[in-house]
Chain A
Amino acid sequence: MFKLFTKKKPEHNSENQGRGILVFENTTEVIRAENALKARGWEIRVMGPPPNIRSGCDLVIEFPLIEELSIRRSLTEVNIEPIQIVPVNSVLLEPVSLLHEKDYGKYLMVRAANMKITVERDTKLIVNVSGGGCPDVPYLAGQMVNKHLHNAPQPRDVGYTLCAYALQIAYDRMVEIC
């Protein structure tokens, strides 16, 4: 426990140091790693990879390169292994941060990027999930629709892609406001 607290130091915020990126097998692994590292106090960012390592629908975690060993250790503790760790000099892409809420009276819709989730206010039942184009979207919709907002499987746990990541952002916002 003491070790955990000693890690939460401001020197993780290293604007002037070299940056590295952790590359994972899929978005689910990125989300697991993000949660594990943030829980341990690391100041990391989920970003879009540079074009030279982009394969399609992917995310990477940006971190201060000098912390590589400690970051690796943190991930090993939770059995997560990045497939690649590389330094980065080019600009990484910022994920979309705009959230849009639409009030339908009895229902509320939240949109993040291309994903939308709609909840019935009184019952907190998820009544619809829409948008997106990756193959886990229809699967996630099938898993989440007609479930209570707080009991539904979360995209971070059962999704794989950027669409799932966007849906998680919309879901988190819905939990906040609903």
Chain B
Amino acid sequence: MLGIVGTIPEANFPLFSGRVSLEGNDILIGNERINVNRGTPAMIAAAIETLKYMDKPEPYCYLVGDIGDGEGSMHLYRHLIDNIADTSFHSLAFHYFQPIVSLFKKVTAAIEEMPNRPILIADAGFMYVAKMGGDAPFFDLFTPDAGELAYLADENAPHPFYTRGFILHEENLVLDLIKRAYQHNNASSYLLVKGAKDYVADKNGVISVIDDPIVETLEPIGGTGDTLTGIVSALIASGIEIKTASANAALVNRLAGFYAEPTPATQINEIIKQIPRALHEVFGN
């Protein structure tokens, strides 16, 4: 089973744990209906579409409202600290969250007490805090974009906002940044780097490069990284090996973007609608 931890961009959305389903442009969380725009709702929607295609159950989600003040995240950190050790997941994907190092470390300590350690995936705030806390190797997969990879590669930066210019520079090669991130123990076991080309890598270097189709207009669209994290998390939870799931997820995400015929003004739900078609293209034969 896939577990997902993240935030809903509404101030008063209560802490929720349970199954989440997808209906049209909304995800259904208990009695609440949340529009799939970007962030964790987009990640969940992409995961649900993928799990459905793979004939797997809907994800079990831990969610809370947070608009950036961190109050909701703190509630959810504490809920995870108190409860996660007694759960059983094949894979756990962590997403948008307020980075708070002290609470994060208590969550990882609780995960270590789980009877069977799940495959751990992190993106967004949870990836940031894992690196901030020096715990990147605790995770099995990160899904950074090129800017976030530069952050992982900069051993001194506590947040992408502080990535040093000589590392962030456009001409820096992704391959060098991957190497540097592993050299300083600031990378997960595998990396899925999203961008003009998508890279799957581990400590030994690049395993695969996915660069087709090329859709330049995807970069401005909020949520395309979220859908990639949702797809790869669902494929891993379906039993596919991490590096294979990562390469396939990158291809599915690119194809879904391609089929949506996007402009820089396209919204992410138009791309999510194309995920089943893209999955069929990759796995149908």
Residues from 69 to 102 in B contacting A, C-beta threshold 8 Å: 69-70, 72-73, 96-102
Residues from 1 to 36 in B contacting A, C-beta threshold 8 Å: 7, 9-10
**Across the interface, do B125 and A133 meet the contact criterion of CB distance under 8 Å?**
yes
User: Whole-angstrom distance from the CB of B99 to the nearest CB of chain A?
Assistant: 4
User: Whole-angstrom distance from the CB of B77 to the nearest CB of chain A?
Assistant: 11
**Across the interface, do A139 and B163 meet the contact criterion of CB distance under 8 Å?**
no
User: Whole-angstrom distance from the CB of A121 to the nearest CB of chain B?
Assistant: 11
Assuming the A-B contacts A107-B220, A142-B37, are A55 and B100 also in contact, with contact meaning beta carbons closer than 8 angstroms in the complex?
A: yes
**Across the interface, do B68 and A54 meet the contact criterion of CB distance under 8 Å?**
no
**Across the interface, do A132 and B124 meet the contact criterion of CB distance under 8 Å?**
yes
Provide the bound-state CA to CA distance between A13 and B69, in Å.
33
B59 contacts the other chain (Cβ, under 8 Å)? Answer: no
- Across chains A and B, the number of contacting residue pairs, with CB separation under 8 Å, is 179
A131 contacts the other chain (Cβ, under 8 Å)? Answer: yes
Provide the bound-state CA to CA distance between A129 and B101, in Å.
26
B162 contacts the other chain (Cβ, under 8 Å)? Answer: yes
A135 contacts the other chain (Cβ, under 8 Å)? Answer: yes
Q: Which residue of A lies closest to B129 (CB)?
A: A56
Main secondary structure, interface of A, reads mixed
A154 contacts the other chain (Cβ, under 8 Å)? Answer: no
Assuming the A-B contacts A57-B98, A137-B39, are A96 and B168 also in contact, with contact meaning beta carbons closer than 8 angstroms in the complex?
A: yes
User: Whole-angstrom distance from the CB of B185 to the nearest CB of chain A?
Assistant: 16
Main secondary structure, interface of B, reads loop
User: Whole-angstrom distance from the CB of B250 to the nearest CB of chain A?
Assistant: 17
- Find the residue from B73, B129, B163, B222 having the highest chain A CB count within 10 A: B222
Q: Which residues of B contact A36 (CB under 8 A)?
A: none
**Across the interface, do B220 and A118 meet the contact criterion of CB distance under 8 Å?**
yes
**Across the interface, do A136 and B151 meet the contact criterion of CB distance under 8 Å?**
no
User: Whole-angstrom distance from the CB of B226 to the nearest CB of chain A?
Assistant: 9
**Across the interface, do A26 and B69 meet the contact criterion of CB distance under 8 Å?**
yes
**Across the interface, do B68 and A48 meet the contact criterion of CB distance under 8 Å?**
no
Assuming the A-B contacts A57-B128, A96-B162, A133-B127, are A160 and B67 also in contact, with contact meaning beta carbons closer than 8 angstroms in the complex?
A: yes
**Across the interface, do B102 and A113 meet the contact criterion of CB distance under 8 Å?**
no
Assuming the A-B contacts A26-B70, A48-B162, A160-B67, are A138 and B219 also in contact, with contact meaning beta carbons closer than 8 angstroms in the complex?
A: no
Which residues from chain B sit less than 8 Å from chain A, CB to CB?
7, 9-10, 37-41, 66-70, 72-73, 96-102, 123-129, 132, 145, 147-148, 151, 156-165, 168-170, 216-217, 219-225, 263-267
**What are 17 A-B pairs at a CB distance below 8 A?**
A54-B158, A109-B220, A113-B168, A127-B220, A128-B222, A129-B222, A133-B148, A134-B124, A135-B96, A137-B96, A138-B96, A139-B67, A140-B68, A141-B38, A141-B222, A161-B98, A165-B161
9 A-B pairs closest in CB distance: A136-B68, A138-B39, A133-B124, A160-B68, A127-B265, A130-B222, A139-B9, A118-B220, A114-B160
